[in-house]
Amino acid sequence: MYELFENLGTWLVSDDQWSGPDGIGHRLAEHLQYSLLATLIAAAIGLPLGLLIGHTGKGAFVAINLASFGRALPTVGLVVLVFLAGGLSMLPVYVALVALAVPAIVTNTYAGMTAVDPDVKDAARGQGMRGHQALAHVELPLALPLIMTGLRLALIQVVATATIAAYVSFGGLGRYVFDGLAQRDLVQVLGGAVLVAVVAVVLDVGLAGLQRFLFRHRTA
């Protein structure tokens, strides 16, 4: 076991391992591209939907159950299905990652909106605010902590799952996991898993710090 971790350390710090198209730097950039783009697309879908159903109270049952259905989809199976239907492109990977991220964003956004005190909403209307004004200036700021939590959860789930890109012959840090399994190279498999975990932790800590900064700034 000690030898395994010693070899892992050597693998991680090797200059050769960080250079070229198969190097850690390049694979890391690919993994971040897949993860961030998929999360942005999911946010563009999930945030308006969650805000709409949370603000109006209409369509909540359908939207939340559809989001739960998306969470229950087998990610690898979805990738393979879309891959077979769509050919050699990144589309199946993005479809699967977006489907994974949307539920957390929708449910947390909806939860944040419904957690706003009804008396606060009534006070906003009493001051003459229209629906969109109350949403933008009252409900959304109060719901923001839970919305940010949903985005954090979605991003971490996507980062951890973006390894599936390698399953259909694309890049990212999952390349080390799948190539290592094919080559029976345990050090490479463990190295890929460690790198994915580190990226997930760093992004989560960074977003948590940003969240604390934003709310400290608001209350200052």
Residue 200: per-residue pLDDT: 93
List the Cα angle 151/157/163 in 5-degree steps. Answer: 135
The winner for highest mean pLDDT among 8-12, 79-83, 105-109 is 105-109
Task: Domains for the chain: give ranges and CATH numbers.
Answer: 2-219 (1.10.3720.10)
- Residue 33, SS3? helix
DSSP 88-135: SSSHHHHHHHHHHHHHHHHHHHHHHHHTS-HHHHHHHHHTT--HHHHI
Of 192, 176, 212, 205, the residue nearest 22 (C-alpha): 176
Q: What is the pLDDT of residues 126-173, one digit of tens each?
A: 777 776 777 777 888 888 889 999 999 999 989 988 888 887 778 899
The pLDDT score that the predictor gives to residue 81 is 65
Q: What is the pTM of this model?
A: 0.85
Average pLDDT over residues 95-121: 86
Highest mean pLDDT among 105-119, 125-139, 172-186: 172-186
What's the CA gap between 177 and 14, in Å, rounded? 18
pLDDT, position 158: 92
Give the H/E segment covering residue 185: none
Helix, strand, coil share of the chain (percent; to 5): 85, 0, 15
- In whole angstroms, give the CA distance from residue 154 to residue 93: 15
In order of 5, 160, 191, 193, 202, the CA distances from 198 in angstroms are 16, 10, 11, 9, 6
As a whole number of angstroms, the distance between CA 199 and CA 186 comes to 20
At 198-210, the pLDDT tens digits run 999 999 999 888 8
